Amino acid sequence: MDSNPVIDMLGRRLRLAVVGGGPGSFIGAMHRTAARLDDRYELVAGVLSSDGDRSRAAAAAIGIAANRAFADADELFVAEAARPDGADVVAIMTPNDSHHAYALAALRHGFDVICDKPITNTLTEAREVLAAVEETGLVFCLTHNYTGYPMVRQARAMVADGQLGELQLVQVEYVQGGKAGERDPDPVGELPWRYDPVRGGPSLVLGDIGTHAHNLVRFVTGREVTEIAADVGHIVANRLVDDYAGAMLRFDNGARGSFWVTQAATGVENCLRLRASGTLGTVEWMQELPTQLVFRPSAAPVEIRTPNGPGTLPLAARASRIVAGHPEGFHEGFANVYTDAAEAIAARRSGHEPDPLALHFPNALDGLMGVAFVDAAIRSSADDGAWTSVAGSFNA
Ligand SMILES: NC(=O)c1ccc[n+]([C@@H]2O[C@H](COP(=O)([O-])OP(=O)(O)OC[C@H]3O[C@@H](n4cnc5c(N)ncnc54)[C@H](O)[C@@H]3O)[C@@H](O)[C@H]2O)c1
């Protein structure tokens, strides 16, 4: 990444405002690092907490000027839209229930948007965000950050290149242990937002990690899940939210799949794993060994692809920032999503054409598909695992 297309197109970096990601948030620092890694953005404004004083203190701690540290998001949108040097892009990383309102407001004020997943908690809301993106023509990037890993992009490019043949089988799992031993919060006290279905969404595990797993499958295979037979519930006794979902999947080309996500697998850390098999071969990728993509062709020995190693396809090469053999991971993958979005945003704002390879970041339609998948999984499970149409969610 020697050149900076954003500076080439705009003569400056994009001005970024952040909403959320303040005290206690893991993902806030990831967003801000991702924005800075390739020098495509300059952080100029923010609201980092729902509490005004905490927001201003947190903004000061990360170098945001006092006059651009706001007490709430609406104040930020109005003030930044009015400045000649106001923010270009708003990044939203607040609890799930606020994504809808903040995304709509940001789009209506003319900001391009980067938003964390899930796009919204309901299908109606997701449709509204997609409609607003289409009406405004603004860029909307959804941070399904696992799509930014070079070897995930290599897998996508190999599938698109026909190297797997016709897709037949997909296995995806996202297994964590973070909630295995945890006692749920006292339901009488104030619930953390994730444990409140109004704030966290209808299924904790599906919103937190199920949407990542579903999106990874779609990103790599280019196929849609059309039907699901699901079992969604909890492993930890007496828990009131979902910590487990298992499902069988049917795809739009007749391929079959299995889906397995939990946050209650004792001792497991962050095991997101995908296997996709076609008529000519199989690819396998695991987030905890992210620089290796295993390719099992039908008529040749197994191969391991690595970032910038032999056989790296252009989509993966774009995301492989240093020479082969130097491990890259979560930060760089997240930054690849930000960097691609930056190129699309700068191109839109300057009237240039972006590099087509920059346009593979997840968008509002991907977000809607994720919410539809969650919706169908919950409906299937409530119907004792009956096969349920995902596309049917759109007519519900
Ligand atoms: N992409 C990923 O891998 C990933 C990982 C973790 C979380 N997330 C997503 O990020 C979002 C936040 O999750 P989290 O784990 O950081 O939650 P969190 O509760 O740890 O942190 C939320 C932060 O947002 C701030 N905040 C809350 N309401 C706000 C408001 N109205 N305005 C401004 N700031 C506000 C809080 O002060 C806090 O600092 C969720 O949508 C979650 O799904 C994504």
Mutate to test the pocket of ligand 1, among 64, 77, 94 (most ligand atoms within 8 A of CB): 94
Whole-prediction pTM: 0.97
Mutate to test the pocket of ligand 1, among 33, 93, 129, 261 (most ligand atoms within 8 A of CB): 93
β-bridge mates for residue 305, sequence order: 293
Question: What would the pLDDT profile of 97-110 be if each residue is shown by its tens digit?
Answer: 999 999 999 999 99
361 within 8 A of 147, measured Cβ to Cβ: yes
136 contacts: CB under 8 Å, gap ≥ 6: 107, 108, 110
20 lines ligand 1 (CB under 6 A): yes
Instruction: Round to whole Å and give the CA distance between 75 and 109.
Output: 12
Ligand 1 geometric centre to CA of 196 (Å):
14
Q: What are the CB-based long-range contacts (under 8 Å, 24+) for 230-233? A: 230/259, 230/376, 230/377, 230/378, 230/380, 230/381, 230/385, 230/388, 231/381, 231/385, 232/203, 232/205, 232/206, 232/377, 232/378, 232/381, 233/381
Instruction: Round to whole Å and give the CA distance between 269 and 252.
Output: 32
For residue 396, is pLDDT > 60?
no
Omega of the bond leading into 307 within 30 degrees of 0 (cis): no
Question: What would the pLDDT profile of 119-155 be if each residue is shown by its tens digit?
Answer: 999 999 999 999 999 999 999 999 999 999 999 999 9
Amino acid identity at 377: A
Say whether 127 sits in a helix, a strand or coil.
helix
Question: What would the pLDDT profile of 228-259 be if each residue is shown by its tens digit?
Answer: 999 999 999 889 999 999 999 999 999 999 99
For residue 162, is pLDDT > 60?
yes
Amino acid identity at 186: D
